[in-house]
Structure 1
Amino acid sequence: MATFEDFNFKLVVVEQLMYIDGTLTPRFHLADLLKERGITDSPWEYAQQHGLAYQVVPEARDHFTSLEISDELLAGVEVLCMDGGNQVYQECAPVWDGEDDLFDIASLDDLVLLPNLRRILGSEFLSPRLRQLLGARGIAAD
């Protein structure tokens, strides 16, 4: 199984595989996890009441950090989309407005895990240095 260096890059991959393609299952929903733990608050209320506004909820971070993604699924990724409205971000940080750097990608070292990646949508959210790296690897940055 692949090991990701950049948690935020992994989240973009999870968005594609779990919430768009539906190939990475089961779908994670923070509300379901909270209910399993006997917490009846909505994810938004839970984050607010525990001082987790504009932060990744620890339970979601733990889930996605330990989530294993097969090499076969990773090889199927050809396009990624970085958008503040991604479902994975709402599952991680239910009180987040997309106006800060909470989910900014700091490194593209994990590109080696996606041998067939051809395009990244929303690349304007990457630093100029990282966009240049994409171009050097022949990955379209839209």
Structure 2
Amino acid sequence: MTAFRDFNFKLLVVEQLMYGDETLTPAFSMAEHMRARGVEDLHDYVWEKGLEYTVLDEARAYFEQLEIPAELLATVEELTFDGGNQVFMECAPVWDGEDDLFDVRSLDDLELLPNLKRFIGGYALDHMLPGSLETLAARGIAVED
């Protein structure tokens, strides 16, 4: 079992594999998950429950338990940190990007991605985690904004 240390870093990997490459299937849909529980309007549910600024428990549980085989991790050549990432919308459907909810706190999980070549949104990453540009450069990972 591949264990990630940083949940938000794992979400970046999930973004690439599940919603980008579509190789990690099936794609998780919070709206479909909640419809199965009888919630027709996910956005209304979030607002009514006061869950605007949090990762929904159902999404956190799903992504924390999600197994990603090492063979699939080895296919990741690019990661993107962008406030519009689909995985962020699945976790926090009305998130506005104005807080640190999805900030990466550690790059310890880079070792899980032996073929990572490019990090898009790296300057935002460096704001979240000072020194990260140097860490990426030391591993030969190109950074784009």
TM-score by length of structure 1 reads 0.96
Would the aligned equivalents of 2:8 and 2:104 in 1 still touch at CA under 8 Å? yes
* Pairing 1:81–2:41 present: no
* Pairing 1:135–2:134 present: no
Q: CA RMSD in A?
A: 0.9
Distance in 2 separating the partners of 1:59 and 1:50 = 14
Q: Give the 4+ runs in structure 1 shifted more than 6 A.
A: none
Q: Could you tell me which residue of structure 2 aligns to residue 113 of structure 1? A: 112
Q: Could you tell me which residue of structure 2 aligns to residue 123 of structure 1? A: 122
Distance in 1 separating the partners of 2:143 and 2:28 = 28
Unaligned runs of 5+ in 2: none
1:93 Cα deviation from its structure 2 partner? 0.4
Distance in 1 separating the partners of 2:33 and 2:98 = 26
Unaligned runs of 5+ in 1: none
Would the aligned equivalents of 2:136 and 2:142 in 1 still touch at CA under 8 Å? yes
Q: Could you tell me which residue of structure 2 aligns to residue 44 of structure 1? A: 43
1:126 Cα deviation from its structure 2 partner? 1.3
Q: Could you tell me which residue of structure 1 aligns to residue 31 of structure 2? A: 31
Q: Which amino acid aligns with 1:96?
A: W
TM-score by length of structure 2 reads 0.94
1:84 Cα deviation from its structure 2 partner? 0.4
1:140 Cα deviation from its structure 2 partner? 0.9
1:81 Cα deviation from its structure 2 partner? 0.8
1:39 Cα deviation from its structure 2 partner? 2.0
SS in 2 for 1:126: helix
Q: Percent identity?
A: 59
